[in-house]
Amino acid sequence: MLAALAACVLSCSPLGAAPPHDPAMASSIFGSQKKKNGRAEAEQVDFHMTGEITQGKTFAQNIGHGLVFELVPPSNAPNAGWIIEIVPAEQPSGNAVEFSQIATPPYHTYNDRIIVPAYGRSAADVANLKDRTFFFVDSVDDEHRAEEVVNATYYPGDISDEARVRAVAEEKEIQVSKGELHLLKTHTTRSETFGGPGNIDRIRFELEIEFSPGLTMADIVARVVRPQ
């Protein structure tokens, strides 16, 4: 349910007014999105790197813990930009799995994983969002459990009472890690179609990862999905 909706990026993106994007809310809940300064803060980062990628290509980097950070072009617009993904270094047999989509709200509109002109934003708008925060679980089992947690919140009528009770109990057990991607340099091109959103054809970026910084799916759901 949720996965099918969240996977729709460009084909489901309205070209009207952009929905509100409030990085201040994410900052106040999960900590600053700004680049860390000072040795004490820098020591909190478990993985750090800088990288660069050009239009239409995929970037992949092993970040430890059996996980890989990826920048993946959207399948329906491969030259438009990239989607942030965290995947297992060894995918399970059968269906491939991704770990950040389920833990990075908002789920039905633009969020920080999307480095693509979508949901009414132009390439220039997207490039101006320099500091991006995303979250991810770290196992196939936790991804399945996290999806159950979020589905229990969004679609309570579509699951059993037993599943709802189990989801509430598991919210505090599912550990969530945090990533920050800072766009250091971007290059965009205008759309060949008048009024089109354009493309992001090159980025240079900095990536910082914190594994298990004390967050759980309860924080994701209670503070973002169900704002008070």
Give me the pLDDT at residue 151, please.
Answer: 87
Instruction: Indicate the domain borders of the chain.
Output: 45-225
Task: State phi, psi for 57 to the nearest 5 degrees.
Answer: -100, 160
pLDDT tens profile 1-42: 554 434 445 444 332 233 333 333 333 334 433 444 443 454
Contacts (Cβ under 8 Å, ≥6 apart) of 10: 74, 76, 77, 80, 116, 118
End-to-end CA distance of the chain: give it in Å, rounded: 25
Percent of the chain with pLDDT over 70: 77
Instruction: Read off the amino acid at residue 48.
Output: H
Given pLDDT bands bounded at 50, 70 and 90, which one contains residue 226? low
126 token code pair = 């997207």
Provide the H-helix boundaries in the chain: 2-6, 23-30, 39-42, 123-127, 140-154, 161-170, 217-220
pLDDT at residue 60 greater than cutoff 80: yes
pTM: 0.81
Give me the pLDDT at residue 194, please.
Answer: 63
Mean pLDDT of 77-104: 94
